[in-house]
Amino acid sequence: MTRTRRARATVVAAGGLALLLPAAASAATPTAVTNGTTTLRPSGAAYRTLKRADVAVLPIGVAATKGSRIAIPVRSGVVGTVSRLVHGETDGLLLRGEDGSARLTDLRMRIGRSSSTVTGRVDGGSPGTLFTLSAKRLDVRLASRAASRKGVTWKLTARAAKTLRSRLDVRGLRAGGFGVATLTARLAAPSSSPAPTPGTPAPAPSPSPAPAPLPPGAPAVASVTSGAADWGVKTSFRRYITGPIAGGKAVPSDGVTTNPDDTYRFGPATGTVDRSTGALSIGFRGQVYFEGHGSGEAAALRVWLRNPRVVTTPGATTGRLHADMTSKGQDGRLVDYPDVALADLDLTAGTRRTTATGVTWSAVPATLTEEGAPAFGGFYNAGAELDPISFAVTTAG
């Protein structure tokens, strides 16, 4: 094939009376948050343990690195006696180690006098408390409709430390300091949108087009309780890796098994299926590491592919396959492609079977995207045919 190496690529400012009110009194009236940012600088005992074990803390989704910090956008929330800052469902942190990785997403911060926490999901699992926070309140500046707090310590909880210990295979990881954050939130003008009641996360925007009505009592969005995906990445790539040219190997780990046809089985599955529109978002756990042209750190070809995720649009005609990838660049450095939209899925050419308790998709054709091409060293063009993917999940609720 032609080697086409691509470029690597309340309370309002507007009311005179409100301006006279002390900030604390005004903040007691819950005010909706329109947006904001949580900026985290990893530091502390738990973070140092991860660093010593070569686990990198990276942004995922729309979160981004800013120098030594990670900025995670705040999507919604409320500021009051108890404040809540809600980040995007698929945004957050990727902890990437040699022997495993973990995605911390759907981060929701609660700041209150009695307790301040960050809840979130590890690899799309059920939400749990991941961190406790040192702050008891946000500082509210009415004139500029802003709330903020600096120097907020994030401490990893014992439970989260236990989960991450096994996911990342870092034995010494304990509860303790993980980072110091600056929290900022922009407050809505009271006329623009009524403040949600404290305790209730801001409602998600309604999907478009409107879902078809369901029988009474049947919730539209069901959680995935189990399942797996069969995918071989690309048959010719697997052959090239283990063949005479690259002379390397493919190493499945983190629960991945090899099927009789040499494709991989990723799982367990977590995520959601919208039964009224067919839209789904499902992650499958596991990693495959490809190595060639040398071995270990000296290998010229090193590609990690982790936690593939299938996301389909309402109507279920098109979809995308995302994954967390890392690939050794030409300069010898490892480049991360967290949550890269690796492949376009043509659902019209796949086969769907739905039952009351689950959904199965078989032989869905996948083609490489522009974003995914650099992770394969630019040896494939966007549109290159990858292996078709099949997956089966069961749902509840």
Residues that bind ligand HEM (CB under 6 A): 1, 234, 236-237, 240, 245, 293, 300-301, 303, 327, 376-377, 379-380
- The two three-digit tokens of residue 108, written as one number: 């929701």
Least distance between ligand HEM and beta carbon 302 (Å): 8
In the complex with ligand HEM, the residue whose CB is nearer, 236 or 276, is: 236
In the complex with ligand HEM, the residue whose CB is nearer, 24 or 298, is: 298
In the complex with ligand HEM, the residue whose CB is nearer, 118 or 373, is: 373
In the complex with ligand HEM, the residue whose CB is nearer, 111 or 375, is: 375
Beta strands in 160-297 (DSSP E): 176-187, 221-231, 249-253, 257-258, 264-266, 269-274, 280-284, 287-292
Spatial CA neighbour of 133 closest among 114, 113, 156, 117: 117
CA dist 296 → 226, 244, 273, 286, 293 (Å): 34, 18, 40, 20, 10
Least distance between ligand HEM and beta carbon 36 (Å): 39
Which residue is closest to ligand HEM by CB?
377
- Which residues lie below 8 Å from residue 372, measured CB to CB, with a gap of 6+? 325, 337, 340, 341, 342, 343, 382
Least distance between ligand HEM and beta carbon 189 (Å): 51
Least distance between ligand HEM and beta carbon 239 (Å): 7
In the complex with ligand HEM, the residue whose CB is nearer, 113 or 333, is: 333
In the complex with ligand HEM, the residue whose CB is nearer, 1 or 212, is: 1
The residue assigned the tokens 């989960």 is: 163
Least distance between ligand HEM and beta carbon 98 (Å): 19
CA dist 386 → 6, 46, 238, 363, 368 (Å): 18, 39, 11, 11, 6
Least distance between ligand HEM and beta carbon 299 (Å): 8
- The two three-digit tokens of residue 370, written as one number: 């522009």
